Amino acid sequence: MMWLTLCLLTLCFSTTQAGGFCESVLQECREGDVPWTSCYEDRIASCRLRGRLMQNFIQRMVNSSQEAEVSPTLEHRVHIPSSALQRSRVAVSQQEVLLVVTVIDSTFFELSPPQRKGSTRLLIPHQPVHMQGTVLGELVLVVRTGTQPVRDLSQPIKLTFTHNKQVENGACVFWQESQRADGTGHWSTDGCDTSDTGLEFVCSCNHLSFFAVLVNPVLSVDVINAENLSYITYIGSALSIFFTIISLIIYICLQRRRPEKAIGVHLQLTGALLCLHLSFLLCSFWVRQLDEDEEGWVCRSLGLFLHWSLLATLSWLALEGFHLYLLLVQVFNIYVRRYLLKLSLVGWGLPTLIAMVCGIVGVYGKYSLDVSDANNPNSTAQICWMSKQFPQRLLVSYVTTVAFPCLVVLCNSCMLGLVVFKLWRLRTGGGGIESSSGWKKMNREKGIKLWKDCVTVLGLSCVLGLPWGLASTTYISLPGIYLFTILNSLQGVFMFLWSVALSCKSRSDNNSSGRDPSSQRVMTTSFNN
């Protein structure tokens, strides 16, 4: 009896030392004191299966002189060339090596927080500057052969990730553990190439590790580009603040000279833009005064102010489109009692309500992002915005800063299309304004009118906030990020040019009876009623 007990204790001890049971390795590694990814990768090569089968877990001996192909799930397939298997042998005479392939939940992988106060600057509150995205299927594929690390393969391994829905911008990545001892890390594309067939992603990687596919990854921005974009943003925001102040003065003068609803709407939008650019600069520069782990009530207040200003700007952009809709659909007999007051309740009241609720639940704080830098992997960018410590930050951010702007841009694009259609009808004689003989007289006049129409449409695009739609280009290329940054940081300048155009038109209306009736009619209908 004593002999049997001793045997059982010896067996249990040897099992634990060898890696334990495979079913409990993940939990045990996550509860340990060492980085769990390294622990897990080592122990799955020496663990024992409690039963014959474990769901989505393959552990078998394979011939090193032949290729190996396994599928832990219906959506994952791994093809390993013989050269990779031979690299994992302990001795040249070894014929068989252990192959382990499994999948684990992507929620176990925690991104590394910044280690120090960032020296780089944040370009836009929501612009991520590190390779990020959603893990396809929320599953990470783990591949391990033998007991030796396998890297720098001459023949890459092939990993196939099948998906049943259309996705864009997928990238094959592997988990690179940080130098911290907390098991955190980041996703990297080093050594992996991506091929998208439409129904599956095929990854060719020259090493073995934890693999995944990031769907819709954000384009990585290095420190140099981040610095350049930051300077562009700061200079553009400073210019916007200066010119929006001048625009406010011009609109106030126009409003006193000729009280009109459209000018009142422009005035409110310009005020919201002034708050947006001012709050952005304050949030960007104030965060530099804070220590690494410090937030403070000032940073939280500035984050609230920035979020409120952004929501107010988007709200007034939407109201610009709504006002244009009323003018184009119902040109005559438009009267709404206390019209501007009701618009103000929406344009200022809705952002205030949302920001106050977010402030009460503790959304705001210091927001930090990793900046990809080969020389300093721990470079960060910080701003007073939505705190990463708030659990529902992503939900709040996507609803208020992604979904809402997309809806505004979509609706205002339709309004701009309606303006273009009406201009086209007027220029082709649909308005009954120009006679047929007038079209035959001078092509030069037609060219001038076309130029004026293009300027009108371009100006309206800025007033309606359509440059915000360029945010989609930031997922495609680096020039798209530059274009989006330049145009949106100079919004205040564009509003100034629009105010000058309205001021010049107002003087022209007072000094002339109008030589271009079609343009006069469209401008009056669209902007000055």
Instruction: Say whether pLDDT at 522 is over 80.
Output: no
Tell which of 183, 215, 247 closes a domain. 215
**Do residues 190 and 265 both lie within one domain?**
no
Specify the residue for token string 């701003």: 383
**Do residues 263 and 406 both lie within one domain?**
yes
Whole-angstrom Cα distance, residue 139 to residue 106? 5
Structural domain total, the chain = 2
**Do residues 353 and 319 both lie within one domain?**
yes
CB 486 within 8 A of CB 236: yes
Asked if residue 410 belongs to a domain, the reply is: yes
Instruction: Say whether pLDDT at 430 is over 60.
Output: no
Q: What is the CATH number of the domain that holds 199?
A: 2.60.220.50
State residue 513's pLDDT score: 44
Calculate mean pLDDT across residues 365-386.
64
Q: State percent of the chain over pLDDT 70.
A: 74
Whole-angstrom Cα distance, residue 518 to residue 189? 57
**Do residues 95 and 188 both lie within one domain?**
yes
In this prediction the pTM is 0.59
Angle at CA 212, nearest 5°, toward 209 and 217? 130
Whole-angstrom Cα distance, residue 395 to residue 379? 26
What proportions of the chain, in percent to the nearest 5, are helix, strand and coil?
Answer: 55, 20, 30
Asked if residue 123 belongs to a domain, the reply is: no
**Do residues 64 and 203 both lie within one domain?**
yes
Asked if residue 15 belongs to a domain, the reply is: no
The domain of 509 spans 223-433+441-527
Asked if residue 3 belongs to a domain, the reply is: no
**Do residues 154 and 285 both lie within one domain?**
no
**Do residues 206 and 247 both lie within one domain?**
no
**Do residues 237 and 189 both lie within one domain?**
no
**Do residues 285 and 338 both lie within one domain?**
yes
Asked if residue 168 belongs to a domain, the reply is: yes
CA atoms within 13 A on the CB side of 222: 5
**For the segment 195-212, what is each residue's pLDDT rounded down to a tens digit?**
888 788 899 998 888 888
**Do residues 63 and 183 both lie within one domain?**
yes
**Do residues 137 and 232 both lie within one domain?**
no
CB 284 within 8 A of CB 302: no
With H, G, I as helix, E, B as strand and everything else as coil, classify residue 452: helix
Instruction: Say whether pLDDT at 27 is over 70.
Output: yes
Tell which of 178, 195, 215 closes a domain. 215
Task: Give the total residue count for the chain.
Answer: 529
Tell which of 192, 215, 238 closes a domain. 215
Instruction: Say whether pLDDT at 18 is over 80.
Output: no
| Residues in contact with 167: Cβ distance below 8 Å, sequence separation at least 6, in sequence order | 136, 215, 216
CB 383 within 8 A of CB 122: yes
Q: What is the CATH number of the domain that holds 339?
A: 1.20.1070.10
Say which amino acid occupies 234. Answer: Y
